[in-house]
Amino acid sequence: MKDGSGDRTRVVLLAAGQGKRMKSDLPKVLHEVLGKTILGRLMAASDELKPEHIHIVIGHEAEQVEKFIQDNPSATPVSTHLQKPQLGTGHALMQVAPSLKDFKGTLVVSVADTPLLTGATFKSLVEAHKESKAVVSLLTTDVDDAKNYGRITRNEKGEVTGIVEHKDATEAQRAIKEINPAIYCFAWPEVEAALSTLKNDNQQKEYYLTDVIGWAHKNSHKIASAKVADWREVAGINSRLELSEAIRLMRDITVNNLALESGVTIVDTQGTWISPEVKIGKDTVVLPGCYLAGEIEIGQKCTIGPNTVMKGVVHVGDNTTVAQSLVQNSDIGSNCKVGPFSHLREHTVLHDQVKVGNFVEVKKSVINNKTNASHLSYIGDSTLGSGVNIGAGTITANYDHITKKKERTTICDGASTGSNSVLVAPVTLEEGAVVAAGTVVTKTVPKGALAITRTPQKNHEGWAEERKRKAEAAKLEAAK
């Protein structure tokens, strides 16, 4: 909520670190987990809190991260804060503090390398924080292998007393199985006072945000903690292997939900990759080898796959089949047949009962009801009416290499093209127009007319025999 000083919420995402262990030119937070970057996922989870603002601390490869944020605007106003050099997670928050002068409320602070973190978990932490009226609240979770995570220390009463980083921990502390996912709520501006007390006298010579917890304990400020049942939801990604694990886990969660909640058959649950944003209707079957990542909505009783990739924003109606195909940012209607081996590129719209078959590529085109393009075609920058038949090998020549311009082709209802015809755009086939096989169309074909540009066929009687005879005669001559 945005008004009433006590109810104000802002989010800080710490995304300035290098992510050395990823061994990548790409900043860690821009690596993708099923079609969406880690940072994009964190921003979406933050949006669910409906905060008044999201502050993102950037540093390593800041320009790339900044560009990503600009290209992917969030529902919430976002500002970026440059941290250079990167002297630790506490130092990262110090870069945001000056922008929070007029802010009084709950400051949610999270690391930005936890792609499986959901809005629901964020919400449960904020609720626990508000209910307990704590000054500092944190998520914790129990793990078998505590790796390099910060360990939660508690006193004999079970109260949280602080966090000790793995590198600074004693053997006894390293045995602690309750770890710090690094997702906190701070009462602001109360916690601002902690920042000036942070010191870098530790193994990593960094200003640790984790020391805020020890500060709160020392100063008898109330600390609340909430446990996450499955540690994997708050796991931080530090290496490529951990990235793969996160992708697999996200896949498992999504596939389980679709199978159990939505009534979708997923034939090969290990060999099918679906991102959590994807919605699929009842009784649709997803065959092995599919990768569906994006804002994708598929209707009921469809058959998707095998080996089909859908990316970006894709809608599919009911009773549609998409086999062995690649579909990007396109809409497919109901009762359509796509594939095998079709490529629907950006801004393609297929209405109902459309057939797009083998080796057909469609780009920025609208194809109306009951139109078929069954074999070996390129349809680009075109509008096709209903009941059109596109013959095998028909090409819309939409690109002028000299002017570098793309032109449109319009094919009206009931028109048809013969095999291997080329429609040189801009051009229109009016209603019911017929294009003969092998024709190159460069001007409008009027309603109901036949366009034919072939030279008339001539037959040379006996030509083959004659040729054979001549060849044999030449051979005999040469042997002499």
CA-nearest of 419, 462, 413, 453 to 433 is 413
Binding mask 113-142 for Ca ion (x = CB under 5 A): x-----------------------------
Q: State how far the Cα of 163 lies from the Cα of 149, in Å rounded to an integer.
A: 10
Q: Is the CB of 213 or the CB of 425 nearer to ligand UD1?
A: 213
For position 178 contacting ligand UD1 by CB under 6 A, the verdict is: no
Positions 188 through 247 that interact with ligand UD1 (CB under 6 A): 208-210, 236, 238
Q: Is the CB of 82 or the CB of 120 nearer to ligand UD1?
A: 82
Q: Minimum CB separation from ligand UD1 for residue 152, in Å?
A: 9
Contact predicate 435/429, CB 8 Å: yes
CA-nearest of 164, 169, 168, 155 to 205 is 168
For position 339 contacting Ca ion by CB under 5 A, the verdict is: no
Residue 44 backbone phi and psi in degrees, to 5: -65, -40
Q: Minimum CB separation from Ca ion for residue 244, in Å?
A: 16
Positions 141 through 160 that interact with Ca ion (CB under 5 A): none
Tokens of 456: 């008339």
Q: Is the CB of 66 or the CB of 413 nearer to ligand UD1?
A: 66
CA-nearest of 399, 116, 74 to 237 is 116
Residues in the chain: 480
Quick one: which of 35, 40, 88, 391 contacts ligand UD1 (CB under 6 A)? 88
Catalytic annotation, pick one of 60, 375, 401, 460? 375
Q: State how far the Cα of 225 lies from the Cα of 218, in Å rounded to an integer.
A: 16
Q: Minimum CB separation from ligand UD1 for residue 63, in Å?
A: 15
208 interface partner picked from Ca ion, ligand UD1, none, CB below 5 to 8 A per type = ligand UD1
Judged by CB under 6 A, which stretch of 143-151, 190-198, 291-299, 352-360 contacts ligand UD1?
A: 143-151
Q: Given the structure tokens 């979770």, which residue do they identify? A: 141
For position 236 contacting Ca ion by CB under 5 A, the verdict is: yes
CA 18 and chain centroid, separation:
22
Chain position whose Cβ is nearest to Ca ion:
236
For position 115 contacting ligand UD1 by CB under 6 A, the verdict is: no
Q: Minimum CB separation from ligand UD1 for residue 120, in Å?
A: 19
CB proximity list for 338: less than 8 A, separation 6 or greater = 320, 321, 322, 323, 325, 327, 332, 344, 350, 355, 356
Quick one: which of 15, 216, 356, 412 contacts ligand UD1 (CB under 6 A)? 15
Tokens of 166: 């793995």
Contact predicate 259/280, CB 8 Å: no
Contact predicate 221/2, CB 8 Å: no
Q: State how far the Cα of 442 lies from the Cα of 277, in Å rounded to an integer.
A: 44
Q: Is the CB of 176 or the CB of 323 nearer to ligand UD1?
A: 176
R_g of the chain, CA atoms, integer Å? 31
CA-nearest of 321, 325, 269 to 298 is 321
3-state secondary structure of 185: strand
Quick one: which of 54, 87, 338, 362 contacts ligand UD1 (CB under 6 A)? 87
Judged by CB under 5 A, which stretch of 109-117, 122-130, 264-272, 411-419 contacts Ca ion?
A: 109-117
Contact predicate 275/36, CB 8 Å: yes
CB proximity list for 339: less than 8 A, separation 6 or greater = 308, 321, 322, 323, 324, 325, 356, 357, 358
Q: Annotated catalytic, 375? A: yes
Judged by CB under 6 A, which stretch of 14-22, 346-354, 382-390, 406-414 contacts ligand UD1?
A: 14-22
Question: Under the phi-then-psi rule, with left for phi > 0, alpha for psi from -120 to 50, and beta for the rest, what region is 96?
Answer: alpha
Q: Minimum CB separation from ligand UD1 for residue 215, in Å?
A: 14
Binding mask 21-60 for ligand UD1 (x = CB under 6 A): ------------------------------------x-x-
Binding mask 152-171 for ligand UD1 (x = CB under 6 A): -----------x-x------
Binding mask 324-363 for ligand UD1 (x = CB under 6 A): ----------------------------------------
290 interface partner picked from ligand UD1, Ca ion, none, CB below 5 to 8 A per type = none
Give the angle subtended at the CA of 290 by the CAs of 288 and 292, to the nearest 5°. Answer: 150
Q: Is the CB of 81 or the CB of 337 nearer to ligand UD1?
A: 81
Q: Given the structure tokens 């009962």, which residue do they identify? A: 353
Prior bond to 426 cis, omega within 30? yes
Residue 314 forms beta bridges with which residues?
296
Q: Minimum CB separation from ligand UD1 for residue 17, in Å?
A: 3
107 interface partner picked from Ca ion, ligand UD1, none, CB below 5 to 8 A per type = none
Please give the positions annotated as active site: 375
Q: Where along the sequence are the contacts to Ca ion (CB under 5 A)?
A: 113, 236
Q: Where along the sequence are the contacts to ligand UD1 (CB under 6 A)?
A: 14-17, 57, 59, 83, 86-89, 91-92, 111-113, 148-150, 163, 165, 179-182, 208-210, 236, 238
